Amino acid sequence: MNARLNGFLVNEFPKYIVFLLWLGLNGFLFGYYYNFYNTKKTFFYTRVLLGPALALARPAACLNLNCLLVLLPVCRNLLSLFRKACMCCPRRIRRVLDKNIKFHRMCAYMIVLMTLIHYFAHCFNVDFFTSAYQSKILATDTPAIIQQKKLIAKLIQIGNNGNETYLNPIRKSVFSVGAVFLLTGGWTGVIITLSLFFMVTSSLEFIRRSYFEVFWFTHHLFIVFYGFLVVHGISMQVRGQTPQSLTVHDPIRCSTIDPATWSQNNCPTPVFAGSPPMTWKWVIAPMVLYVIERIIRLVRFNQQVEVLKVIKHPSRVLEIQMRKNGFFAEVGQYVFIMCPQLSQLEWHPFTLTSAPEEDYFSIHVRIVGDWTTGLSKVLGADEAGNEVQPSWKMPRLAIDGPFGTASEDVFNYPVAICVGSGIGVTPFASLLKSVWYKNLNPEHEMVLKKVYFFWICPETHAFEWFGDLLKYLERQLTEIGRQDLIEYHIYLTRGWDHKQAKAIYAHEEDTHDVITGLEQKTNYGRPNWDEIFSKTARDYPNTHIGVFFCGVAALSAKLHKMSNKHSGGGVYFHYNKENF
């Protein structure tokens, strides 16, 4: 129980505080505005026409709040600025910034929920507005129902005279569906809802990973979404009685009097007005910040990037080495890359695999989709056997970034457990090289004393491109007498046949691994994380240990669970996951 509590406090508590604050603010806004429109005397006659659907549709403040918040997590320059400003804050507070994409999704889910409530409530409202014209007094009606129908008949007629203000924005008897497109709030609401539908459905993981271009283009419907959201309430079609009118016409008293005798009973014709649109006040600031974000991207687009070298690695992996004036990145940061020759719009994120100490920056690209295949071709590195082009013939590339990630904090922990799954190993290429560079300077005292590096691969071919780096580091660390600084463990989960199994067995006694060529032998199967975390906790009592992961979600959940489980007795495992 103590370990679970410690794990919760280290890895979960800050994000749950943020989540509860966000949820509480949504709940407060929903409850406040629901009660406001359900009880306020201003909307008494509006409720006569619409009933409870008025109050259910009006907590649009929750929509406004989340439309404000949903843009902020994707303002990456803003997040990088916050990350630098918060370097003096506790680690557990800074790590909340690493949940930016998850918070973006949470806000999107709340927007979907509130849109559905708002949309269906207003569907009923439009139907009530139109059906008010078909209300007829029947012989079976009770006196109370007759009074209600007379009141409704009077309310829909107010506004027909030139000196009157209307309550019902639908001024004639029409079909409900047609009435939607007669109202500014109606047809803009349809466009907003359709835009949201396409944005959300294209964001499903299957589409995002398999058809990234579909996701990318449809997600930019947010421009349509925000554009029509701002003008959605401009016609002020939800109306209520003005404060001045309430002083001379009490709706609670006058509603019990036959409307035909209002003038004889000190009930002058009520005056109605719509509430001014408020959405623009909520979203103008994040929209400005996002525009600034795009301006920064445009400026960076026009900055020259020199492609120094393109290296074809096995397993369809391409290494691109580049240089750009004024570019500096920390360990594990990422950039967005655009190739105008392929597309003038598409930007794709890639983790930097170069160390800050190197005079160039590099990325490793796995060729798996249309865009990466096209990039390989224009760089002259496609599988057709074309020779890699010289640097002066390289196509133009644009770089936006770098942007911060969780890996930046790795040097703040005395011990780090770094786990890469498949191509998720790329952030640790930068980290491992930087560790070596920092140890070349004996005067530079690092907080980080030990790195446990785990690489889990599904097949043998995946080892080929990253193994060269590990061999190089192995040799260099041995030369400076720091071979104990990085302890790496490579796991092959599948992908070997019976011939490879025989070769592995035959070379079991060799000093170097038969697959990777490294001194450290490859493990077969999956790591026993429970045992690994237990041993690390025993070896480093009273220590804050950083756990860094990049890869598949299933393994992330496992490592997160292990970090919580084994935190206790003075040992704290801080879990960090790459998100971009």
Q: CA neighbours within 13 Å on the CB side: how many for 542?
A: 0
pLDDT of residue 514: 46
Partner residues linked to 439 by β-bridges: none
Ordered per-residue pLDDT tens for the chain, 580 residues: 455 566 666 677 778 888 999 999 999 999 999 999 999 999 999 988 888 888 888 778 899 999 999 999 888 888 888 777 766 666 667 777 778 888 999 999 999 999 999 888 888 888 888 887 887 877 777 888 888 888 888 888 888 887 888 888 887 777 666 777 778 888 888 899 999 999 999 888 888 777 777 888 888 899 999 999 988 888 888 888 899 999 999 999 998 888 888 888 888 889 998 888 888 889 999 999 999 988 998 898 888 888 888 888 777 788 888 899 888 888 888 899 988 888 887 888 888 888 888 888 888 888 877 888 888 888 877 655 445 556 667 788 999 888 888 777 888 888 888 888 877 777 788 888 888 788 776 666 778 888 888 888 776 565 566 766 777 777 777 776 666 778 888 887 765 554 554 444 444 444 445 445 555 666 777 888 988 888 888 888 888 888 888 888 888 888 888 888 888 778 888 888 876 5
Q: Are 484 and 520 in contact (CB under 8 A)?
A: no
Whether domain 406-577 has CATH 3.40.50.80: the reply is yes
Q: Give CA separation, 525 vs 109, 492, 519, 551, 562, in Å.
A: 38, 6, 19, 17, 18
Distance of CA 119 to the CA centre of its chain: 24
Q: Are 541 and 569 in contact (CB under 8 A)?
A: yes
DSSP 8-state assignment for residue 411: G
Distance of CA 268 to the CA centre of its chain: 54
pLDDT of residue 16: 85
118-144 burial: b if 16+ Cβ within 10 Å, else e:
beebbbbbbbbbbebeeeeeeeeeeee
Q: Which fold has domain 303-403?
A: Elongation Factor Tu (Ef-tu); domain 3 (2.40.30)
The pTM score is 0.81
CATH 2.40.30.10 region(s) of the chain?
Answer: 303-403
Tell me the three state secondary structure of residue 239: strand
CATH 3.40.50.80 region(s) of the chain?
Answer: 406-577
pLDDT of residue 239: 87
pLDDT of residue 184: 82
One-letter amino acid at 550 equals C
pLDDT of residue 525: 76
- Indicate the helix (H) or strand (E) that contains 554: helix 553-565
Report the alpha-carbon distance of residue 394 to residue 379 in Å, rounded: 6
Place of tokens 């509603």: 255
Report the alpha-carbon distance of residue 353 to residue 428 in Å, rounded: 7
Report the alpha-carbon distance of residue 310 to residue 203 in Å, rounded: 32
